[in-house]
Every structure is written in structure tokens, then in C-alpha cells.
Structure 1
Amino acid sequence: MIRLYSYMFYLNITVYIVTFYFMYLLMSNYKASSGIHFKKQLRDTNQIPVSKLRSSTPLQNEVERDLKERKSNEFWVQNNIKGYSKIRSNDSSTDDLMYSMPVLKERDLNGPGEMGKAVIIDEKNLTTEQKILWKAGWDKNAFNQYVSDMISIERSLPDYRWPECKNITYENLPQVSVVIPFVNESWSTLLRTVHSVLNRSPPHLLKEVVLCDDASSMEHLGKPLDDYVALFEKVSVQRLKNRGGLINARILGFNHSTAPVVIFLDSHCEVTTGWLEPLLDRIKNDDKTIVTAVMDIINAEDFHVQTYNIEQTIPVGDLEWTMFFKWKQVPVGKPRIKPVKSATLIGCFIGVSRTFFKYIGMFDPGFFIWGGENLELSFKAWMCGGCVETVPCSHVGHVYKSRLPYAWNGQQEGSVIERNLLRLAEVWLDDYKEFFYQIVGPERVSEINAGNFSDRVALRQNLGCKNFSWYLQQAIPDVFLPSECHGWGPIKNQLYPDVCIDQNDNESNLKGSIIRGARCGKMMYQQQWYHCHNQTIRRKRACWVPTDKNTSIAFDFCNVEKQDFQWEYRNDNTIYSVYVQKCVEMQPDQKTIKLARCSDTTNQKWTWKRGPPPGPLPDWKKKHQLSN
């Protein structure tokens, strides 16, 4: 009898173990949290079945699972993260020990998002719980956190570099500190940023990664993050007790960093193979050069990496009088691996030597939250003895958000940015600030309190910086100057005097957008128009052009050589299309604007300021006009 009971006992234990094992295998078919990838082979063109998607998994559980996996012995043995194997340097001039690259686990290249592929999900097929998670991720981040959380935090990416970039040998490079500011960032994007830096940076060059928390309120960015980064010798977290904004978080990180070069990197990026060495080499050769990489796009919807096609042109920073950063494409140089001068810096990636950054006064600590700091650094670099360059051999992916999903310390986003930009204009733009004021509007400028910036004016004087006209001539000689034009301001209809011609020129969907009517003064910058000597009507880089059917007016990138971009503002106050030979007419709904046969009706009459607007036209620009 005792033997029978013993037999039954061991049988039950065996059944329990087998059952548990099969349940474990079932659960292992998918791992939904950050850094845990599907074991099923999924191709980027296939939609992922709903059965494979997570339902309502609390974020805290995901964080704990990630932490548990990272702490496991198997993980450390396979990844060799804590103790990089030491090898002798190939440089015979030094006996210093160098560190080898970490050995990553072999990846399933068909897992979600691997090799930079898209994760395709049909939202309509999600369950109710999954749709709630889907929407919450978008609301919190302005990107698809649901998809991001399905992708490994160590996902593989292609090597996007040109072949000749891979053959360059770099010697005696300085070390770098990577400063990553964040506020309420999702777990998966933040850790994917960190791991991409750890995994794709030569360890002997990467001195540290400093995470700078701008007083985040999300639970996973507190103790769970501290516990996680404690596993990595080179990663630390520094925290602002109260919300200080991106700029002050970066200053905090800089003050806690120690390497001779510092790279400021956004918290939703992925660096790629070979990203670091060409940047450090450029700063080593000229430590007054501020560098940025080719910023590839990580799609906010499906997280596929869309690399810039830089075979013919390369993206560099442009300048517009709204004082917002814009890209423009310039021809690739010869040799094409050569760094390219850039008028301005994008804010998500900035590389600078510690010495030069301190010399030019770092970021302006008087800036609030976000906005303008990248332009201020650009102007200072050029005007105070250095320059800005894009390095073609360095590729970094960045999630571009459609909005900024952050708190603004009880202030309106627009007012914070306007304050920073007014401060920027007052210190660095000289008389050219008039063009910025025309966009903002004189009344609004008088309402903005930019704070005390006398210390920044003194900094510029003490450094003996060049004037802004010199900057434009050196960095961006083809810049559009409103002073080159002979008509400017809002365009008001005489039949409906409270209605102005309006257009929100979002360049992401600019082509084919239609000029419309709107209440005057509603959005000043959308109603500021310039009539220029080449007969274009424009704002920034975009101009009026008749639609394909020649009945309405579209907004498109300017082409001054084409007749369909030419308009006349006649003495009878009509606006006439040279190409279509029709006049601009406001319709009775006070929103629709048409091109119609010219008549003497009041709805075809427009009030517009004649003559050049306030602001300088430098001699070098006049000579440029004459030469053309």
C-alpha cells in the first residue's frame, strides 16, 4: 500500500511538471514586453495575428520580466555585458588595455521589427483590451508604443553606411559621454536607445551613458529604471527634482559627464553600426566643430527605419524666419564621405567637444522647457569661431513625433516656445530679428516676457563673435530675406475686410494644399505673405501656384524659373495670375478662394502693404541679386 501511494505521489508530481512545462512553452511563443522577441518567424509584409498580441499586461509586470531576464546568469554569459573581455590594443604605441565589443545573442532576424522592418498590425482586428492599450500608447507618447513594446530592445539594424565609410581606419579617438534626457518616456524606446548605444559603440570609446530624468511621473521610470541601469557599469541616472525642461535636463547630464566629447541624444533613437567613430574623428581634428549624424526616420506608426537616400543629396539644417528647424537637401560633396557644412542643428542629436561647449556658454539656462536651443547653439558655433557639420558616415534613427506629448509647467506650449525664440532673436539676430517679429506680429511680441538675457549679450561681446549678417553669408547665403520683396503682410479682402488669405504650410503635406480664407489675425504666421521681385507670392520656402485645373491656388515649394509661380499685385488692387490670366477671388462662404475671370467686383480687390518690409538687405545679398 505504501508503495502504491508513493507511486501515485510521484506520478502526480510528474504530471504537474509536464503540465507546467507545456504551459511554459505556450507562454514562450510570445513575449510582449520590451526586449523580448517572438520566436515565431514573422516577415515584415505579414500582419501579426491577434492571437500573438498581448492583451492587458500591466507595465510593471513587463518591467519586472525585463529586469529578471537581464539579471539571469545566462544573459550575462551570452551578452558579456558586465565584463567586456580585455584584449591588447593594435596600436603599438600604447600598452593600455582596450575592451572588445560585447557579443550579442544571435537574433531571430524574422522577429518583430528586426533589421529595421515594420511591425504591421491591423488595428481593426484588435480586441477591445488591445485597442485600449493601442490608444493609450499613442496618447502618452505620440508614437505607437504598442508596436514598440513588441520589438526587442536589442533589435538588429542594417548597416546603412556607404562602402567607403566601412574602410576608414580611425586612430587615437577621444572618449565620449552620451547624455540622454527624458521625461515620461516609454520603457521600450528608452531602453532601446540605451542598448543601441552600448551595443554599437566601441567600449574603449564610450566612457558613459548619462540618463537625465526631467522629473518623470511614470512609475516605471523610478526605482525599476534605477534597478535596471545598476546592471550596467557605464550607465547612470541623474534626476531633476522639479520639471526643468529638456534644456536644463541636458545641462544636468553635461555636468555629470566627464568625457572630452559629449553627445546629446534623444530618448527615442537607435544608433547604427559605425555611428560613433566618424563623429569623434571630426571633433578630434577640429574641436570647434559641432557635429550631427544623418538622422534616419523611425516611423512612429510601425517603427520601420526609413534611411535617408543620400546618393545624390544629403540633409542639412536650414533657417526660416519662424525660427523653427527645417531640413534642406544639398548635393553630396566629393569625396562623398566628407562632412557637409550645415547652417543649423537638429535638436535630437548634437555632438560637441566639452571645451568648446563650455567656451560658448553651453545652452542658455534661461530657456524654458523646449525650443530654440538647437538654433542658439548653431548661431554661437558659427559666429564664435566654429561651425556645424553633418557627417555622412554616421547614421542614427529617430522617432519623429507629430506633437510634443509633454506637460509645459502650466503654460501653453506656444507661449513657451515664443518666449525662447524671442530671447534667441534679441541676443543673436541683430537687425534681422525684424523678420521674426513680422511672423509673430508686433502686438504679440510686446506681450512676451523673454526674461533677463543681459548675461547672454555679455557672453557674445566677451567672445568677440561675428555679426548675424556674417553668419548668413557664410552658412546660408541663399537664405530668403523678406527685405528682397516689394509687398508684405496680411492680404485682406475688401468685400470681407475681416477675412485674410491663410494657409498652414505643414511641409509634410505641403504639395497640393489649397490657399483659403480665414478670420484675420487668428494665426499670424499663417497669414504673412511676401510679394517678391521674381513675382512669387511666398512665405518661407513655399509659394502660390495654380492648381492643375487652374481654378484654385495651391501651395508648393518655390520654383522661381516657372511662369505658373508668377503673380502681379496690380494698381487696381487685384492679384493676377500671369500663367492662368485670371484674378484671385473670395467666395461668399469667406473660406473658398478661386481663380476667376478678372472683373471690377470688390471680392477681387485686396488690401496689401506695398514696398519692402522693415529689415536689412546686406551688400553681399545685393551683389548676389545683380549677379543673377
Structure 2
Amino acid sequence: MDREIPDTRLGTCNSVVWPREGLPTTSVIITFHNELRSTLLRTIISVIRRTPSNILKEIVLVDDASIKLILNRKREGLIRARIRAAMIATGDTFTFLDSHVEVNQDWIQPLMQRIKENPRMVVAPIIDVINKDNFQYIGADAFLTGGVSWAMVFRWDWLSRHEMETMDHTVGLKSPTIAGGLFSVGKAWFHELGEYDDQMDIWGGENIEFSFRVWQCGGEMEIMPCSRVGHVFRDDHPYDFGKKGSNHVFVKNNNRFVHTWMDEYSTFYYGTRPNARSILPGDLSVRRHFKEKLQCKGFDWYVKNVYPRQHMPERNSIAWGHAKRGEHCLTVFPLKNPQPGIYGKLGGGNCNQGINNPSFQDMDKQSLVLKKDTGLFQQPTKVLHDGKEVYENKCFGSIDEPPKDGSKIVLADCVDENDHQRWVYHSVNLKLDAYQDLCLDAFQMGNFRLKKCANKDSQQFLFEMLNI
């Protein structure tokens, strides 16, 4: 339990002499439920060993009904357990940690230094990986910031290639969202913001809600690359979501902050989860009180100023976003023999989200749109206008006119006489509107074609978002 771990910091982090005096104190808050005692002790020991004693005010443990120890008499969940701990913690700042982590060398100083510089800054470490089977400590990439999908699922966004090449690891990375388990925040700022939403249940969505609230209400968020904390990523979690199940809890939690913070952009969330409208968010008056009291900005400001890299759905669409056939995303591949006005052929490939596609434009090249008014099935394509590269929608259609069984599907310039480019989305099938016996078929994964419509998997496609 008391062991040495590798220093995984990059750049000049390990040569920086971080101050130990004059920094805010912190209360490290750890909530746990049915955690292995050895794992919990490893977390506590690493905090004690690697945190300067003048910064570490206390460790507050919250046993959420599973041992200063706070004991919940009934299961409250992570959200309300953290609120309870924050009410009794006495440090200048709160540092929330999961109960299955190990902190690394000089982990706390970059976080406290940044909060000292800006008391409304919320900061998070880079999250390294601890193997769940053998507890090997593995350094994580430093080239990521927190993001969120329109389904309100947290994700990691890669920096651009230029940002990677010019990155100063001693400087914080502006992050539109943070992962929920590990972060530091000033005590006064946390309470002024309204802590967590205590009407959210158990776990799920609280980090996205908190991220929106921080940014929209006058705060900022950064990931500090010189701060590293290892985390055990388990196959499942210990939470009991009750009779209604985890999906009901997740959707209710999401609906609460979607209704509070997202304004007219909420339609994009419901486009990804149409059935979520049936689950009521509950009373939002307290959350809206904080929004009014703090004179928080709208979500339009957030997407334009904090998260401009978020790919924006096109309204008046039957379908938008990534389209999937099984585990593969619809992707455009180059033609062996390029032709004027044709930009590639349609097929299925790995969904772009990774180090080999670090530009957000490249990540979103698999975003498609089926327009409601025209029936055009389109994708943004990079073209030259006045010597500058811009994105312009091009159209998917049959390479043959008229289309026939076996016709290849290509991305081409949209044309006026376009029966071969007008589509309908029926249930899970994509058909040409004027040739509804012909369906898009993925029987060859790298080379989609039109085939006679039949009840088979290769003709079933699911979109990220519907009817927006």
C-alpha cells in the first residue's frame, strides 16, 4: 500500500521548484462505498506522503452507508455525500478525490498555486491509469481537455497538432468540462456557486452540470499538466440505482441541468435522446435562483466562448451527427481514380476520436446531415474559396444515373437534377426517395452500395441525433 510510483510528468514539470509556503490549505474529501480497505488505505497513504503538511488541512472520509469520518446512515450517493463533506470541511479549498487513486509527486502545488492566482478557478490533474488487475501505474497522455457530447456524455478532446507541439506543461489547459472524480475548488467559490445540485441522485452528470455552472457564472476551469493522480478504472461501479435503474437516474440528472443551463440548445440533447422527455427533472427553482443571483451567462455564450470547437448540429434536420453501422462510422474514402466534382466513396471505418486524428475538424468529418426540407444527405467537405480552406456541404448519391442495384455511393457536388441524391430515412433504413426499393447497404464495409431493400443488418443505420 505504501509504495513508490513513477513520476509521469512531462516537459519541465519535474524541474520546477513548486512553492510549499503561502499556498491555500486544502481539505481532501474522499467518498467511498464498499471500497476495498487496501485500496482506500493506498489512497489515504499516498495523499499523506505526497502532500506538504502545511497545505493538507485534513482528510475528510465519507463512508456512504457501506466507516474527522462521516457516516451516512442511508445510501445517499456520491453527489450528496460530497455536499455533506463540504459542509464540515475547514480548508481554504476542497480537493475531491475518488477512493481508488494514488497522488503523484508535487501533485497539489500546481492546483493550489492556480487557485491562489484566481480564486474562481477550478483545477484538475491529469488522470493517470492504475491497472485494475495488477495495480501497475501508467502515465496518461497530457494532450487532452474535457469535453461533452450532445448526449451529455463526458469525453476527452485531443489538442490540435499545433497545440501539442507548442504546449508548455507548466501552464494550465483551458477545459470546457472536467471529469467528476478529481478536482480542486476554493471553499468560498464552491459555496457561492451552490455546491452540487442536491436533487441529483446517486451519481452521473454532476460533473457536466458543475462545469456549465462554473463557466457560465463567472469561473474558469483548467487541467494542470504538472499535477498527476493515478486512478483505478473499474469495469463497473458500486452504485445501487434503485428500482428504476441507472438509465432513469442518469436521464433525470441530465434533464435537470439541461433545463437549467442549456436554453434553446436543449433540443440538441433531446435529439440524441428522444425518450428522455418522458422523465421529469423535478423542482428546479433552487438551481434557477443561483443562476439569477450570480447573473450567469447563457449557453450560447458558453459554446461560442468556452467550447467553440464543439461541432454544431444543423437545425431542420431529420438526422445529424455520426451515423453508425454496427460499431463502424460512415466514412468517406478516396477514389482510386479521382474524378472532378467527386470527393470520395462512402464506406464504414473506425470512428474518428484519437491521437491519429487530433484536429477537431478531422474528428467531425464523420458528422453527416439529412436535411428535412430537401432530403439531401450531406457531409461538410474541405474546399478552397479565394485561396482559403473552408467547409462546405457536399451530397451523397449514386454514382450511376439513374441508380441501380449495385451502384456505388459517392460524395459529390450537389446538383439540381438530383433524384440520385435525395434520401429518406425510414425506421433504420436509408433509401433514395425516388427509388424506394433501393437501400444503402454495407455488405462491403469499405464500399457501400445500393441494394434491393431487405430485412438485414447491413441495411440498418443509426444516427447520433434525430429530428432537430
Q: What stretches of structure 1 of length at least 5 have no aligned partner?
A: 1-152, 217-221, 223-235, 492-500, 505-512, 516-542, 615-628
Whether 2:310 is the aligned partner of 1:479: answer yes
Residue identity matched to 2:16 = N
Deviations 1:50-98 (A, max 9, x none): xxxxxxxxxxxxxxxxxxxxxxxxxxxxxxxxxxxxxxxxxxxxxxxxx
Residues 255-266 of structure 1 correspond to what in structure 2 (within 5 A)?
255-266=87-98
How far the C-alpha of 1:458 sits from its partner, in A, is 1.8
Aligned residues: 391
Aligned with residue 465 of structure 1, among 264, 272, 296:
296
Match of 2:340 in 1: none
User: Secondary structure of the equivalent of 1:452?
Assistant: coil
Give the whole-Å Cα distance in 1 for the aligned partners of 2:231 and 2:287.
31
CA contact (8 A) 2:217 2:297 kept: yes
Are 2:82 and 1:247 aligned?
A: no
Q: What residue number does 1:371 align with?
A: 204
Between the aligned partners of 1:356 and 1:187, the Cα distance in structure 2 is 33
Aligned to 1:453: 284
1:553 alignment partner, SS class? strand
3-state SS of 2:288 partner: helix
> Among residues 44, 50, 58, which one is paired with 1:194 in the alignment?
44
Aligned CA-pair RMSD: 3.8
Checking the alignment, whether the CA contact within 8 Å between 2:331 and 2:347 is kept in structure 1 is: no
Matched, 1:154 2:5: no
Q: Judge conservation of contact 1:318–1:327 (CA < 8 Å) in 2.
A: yes
> Aligned equivalents of 1:245 and 1:270: distance in 2?
22
| Residue 318 of structure 1, aligned match among 136, 140, 147 | 147
Partner of 2:387: none
Rg (Cα) greater in structure: 1
1:297 partnered with 2:129: yes
Deviations 1:412-452 (A, max 9, x none): 011101110011100001111111101111xx233202111
Quote the offset at 1:328 in angstroms: 1.4
Would you say the 8 A contact 1:190–1:268 is kept in 2? Answer: yes
Give yes or no for contact 2:31–2:98 (8 Å, CA) kept in 1: yes
Question: How high is the TM-score relative to the length of structure 1?
Answer: 0.56
The answer (yes or no) to whether the contact 1:177–1:263 under 8 Å persists in 2 is yes
From 356, 361, 366, the equivalent of 2:189 is 356
Q: Does the 8 Å CA contact 2:396/2:410 hold for their aligned counterparts?
A: no
Say if 1:573 and 1:196 are closer, same or farther in 2 by CA, change over 3 A: farther
Do the aligned partners of 1:585 and 1:593 also contact (CA within 8 Å) in 2?
A: no
Contact in 2 for aligned 1:483/1:613 (Cα 8 Å) = no
**Which residue, 170, 175, 200 being the options, matches 1:342?**
175
Shift of 1:411: 2.9
Q: Distance in 2 between matches of 1:406 and 1:605?
A: 38
Deviation string 1:171-205 (CA, Å, 9 cap, x unpaired) is: 41011000001111111111111110011000111
Taking every aligned residue pair, what percent have the same amino acid on both sides?
Answer: 31
Q: State the SS of the aligned residue for 1:290.
A: strand
Q: Which of 580, 596, 601 pairs up with 2:452? A: 601
Distance 1:337 1:490 in 2: 36
Aligned partners of 2:308 and 2:333: how far apart in 1? 29
Q: Measure how far apart 1:264 and its partner are.
A: 0.6
Gaps of 5+ in 2: 337-344, 367-378, 380-393, 413-419, 422-428, 432-438
Using the TM superposition, name which of 407-416 and 157-166 deviates more: 157-166
The equivalent of 1:423 in structure 2 is 256
Deviations 1:280-306 (A, max 9, x none): 000011010000001111122322112
> What is the TM-score when the length of structure 2 is the normalising length?
0.74
Q: Residue deviations 1:374-426, cap 9 Å, x none?
A: 11111111111111000111000011123223211333011101110011100
Within 2, Cα distance between the matches of 1:157 and 1:607? 46
Structure 1 residues 551 and 373, CA gap change in structure 2 (3 angstroms): closer
Measure the CA separation in 2 of the matches of 1:245 and 1:600.
51
Measure, in 2, the Cα distance between the counterparts of 1:585 and 1:432: 27
Which protein has the bigger helix share?
Answer: 1
1:264 partner letter = F
Q: Distance in 2 between the 1:597 and 1:379 partners?
A: 40
Question: Following the alignment from structure 1 to structure 2, what is the Cα–Cα distance between the partners of residues 545 and 282?
Answer: 44
1:209 aligns with 2:59: yes
C-alpha change, 1:367 and 1:256, in structure 2 (3 Å) is same
For the 8 Å contact 1:180–1:212, the answer to whether it is kept is yes
**Change in 2 beyond 3 A, CA 1:301/1:439:** same
- Paired with 1:607 and 1:203, the residues of 2 have a C-alpha distance of 57
